[in-house]
Amino acid sequence: MTFVIRAAKADDLQHLYEMAKRTGGGFTNLPPDRKALTAKLERGAAAFSRTADEVGDDLFVFVLENTATGEVRGTCQIFSAVGLKWPFYSYRIGALTQHSEELGRTFRADILNLSTDLEGVSEVGGLFLHPGERAGGLGMLIARSRYLFIRNHRQRFADRCLAELRGVIDEAGGSPFWDGVAGRFFGMNFQDADEFNAKHGNQFIADLMPKHPVYIAMLSEAAKAVIGVPHPSGRAAMRMLEEEGFAWESYIDIFDGGPTMTVRTDQIRSIREAKDEAVVALDGNLGDNKSGEKRLVSIGKLADFRTAYGWVDPREGGIALDPACAALLGVEPGMTVTHVARG
């Protein structure tokens, strides 16, 4: 395999723009706007160059490159802490129970509370894989590489991590949840609001969104039906998040109603199970139908961080690695790598 995860660079702009045009809307972290993407790449470059081991307002942008062709075929992002510049708004589903002595009845109403509970939490997001590459475990490679980066730069990230999944978008590019809730107060359709948020942040939510709880029973059936439901294309991503230890704790996105998953950072499976070991040998006998175990292997700090699939075999004093992976990552015997099981 010739695919490697690496830090995004300024000359990846066109690749990111082409992928952004394929997302189909509702993908706030990858807007089809060159100016917004350029700002992300510049912010990413600043984050990779900052060496202080402390949580900051950092955004790390990565790409999946096919080194055989030079093509970029996927991307992902990590925010070290959300809500430091603009408030990070979510709806949290709660309940209000009321009792009437006269009627002898108790009523329980589900409500949406506008919340900034998740401010300061790290976020993994912006994952997109080109439709032509959605096989061979490349989605898993992109997703789990983020956790290896967090593990090896642990002081740069918060003790809690979130992931937002895109909610249900209809065939016309609209959001039933937006139409039933926020759209009533903003005078713009979902596509316009989503684009504005991607370019300018969501301060306009604070300015215009009512602060009072929203009773779910008063919403349209279409809006109620999509609360906490991921877009069909995001169901596999939700399963991967659950396998890593993420859980849905009743937080949803204020735009499309998609679920926001959370986890304690140190309880993320890939972080818990990853190992740091020295490469003591390069062994060409490792690989498909041979010996060894296929694992995610990473090396390097900050802008030099790279991850790829490799074949690993335990040896005295460390591990053996297949030469192809070693070449992708620039690994030589004596170097220390981080590795974790593929599944």
Domain ranges of the chain: 3-91+115-270, 274-341
Q: Which of 81, 88, 89, 37 is nearest to 63 (CA)?
A: 37
Question: What pLDDT is attached to residue 131?
Answer: 86
Q: Which residues contact 339 (CB under 8 A, 6 or more apart)?
A: 274, 275, 277, 295, 296, 297, 298, 310, 312, 319
3-91+115-270 and 274-341 share one CATH topology?
A: no
Give 10's Cβ-side CA count (13 Å radius).
3
Question: What pLDDT is attached to residue 319?
Answer: 97
Choose, from 15, 130, 231, 339, the residue flagged as catalytic.
231
pLDDT above 90 for 9: yes
- Which position has the higher pLDDT, 186 or 246? 246
Question: What pLDDT is attached to residue 202?
Answer: 66
Mean pLDDT of all residues belonging to the chain: 91
Kindly give the pairing relationship between strand 160-164 and strand 122-129: parallel
As a whole number of angstroms, the distance between CA 5 and CA 171 comes to 32
Tokens standing for residue 299: 């090396």
Q: Looking at residues 176-186, what average pLDDT do you find?
A: 87
Q: How far is CA 16 from the centre of its chain?
A: 16
**Known catalytic residue at 200:** no
Q: How confident is the model at residue 80 (pLDDT cuts 50, 70, 90)?
A: very high
pLDDT above 70 for 206: no
Look up the pTM and report it.
Answer: 0.92
Among 2.40.40.20, 1.10.3720.10, 3.90.1640.20, 3.30.830.10, what is the CATH number of 274-341?
2.40.40.20
SS3 10: helix
- pLDDT of 275-304, one tens digit each? 999 999 999 999 877 889 999 999 999 999
- Structural Rg of the chain based on CA atoms: 22
Lowest mean pLDDT among 207-216, 245-254, 326-335: 207-216
Q: At what angle do helices 190-200 and 34-49 cross, to 10 degrees?
A: 40
At the fourth CATH level, which superfamily is domain 3-91+115-270?
A: Gcn5-related N-acetyltransferase (GNAT) (3.40.630.30)
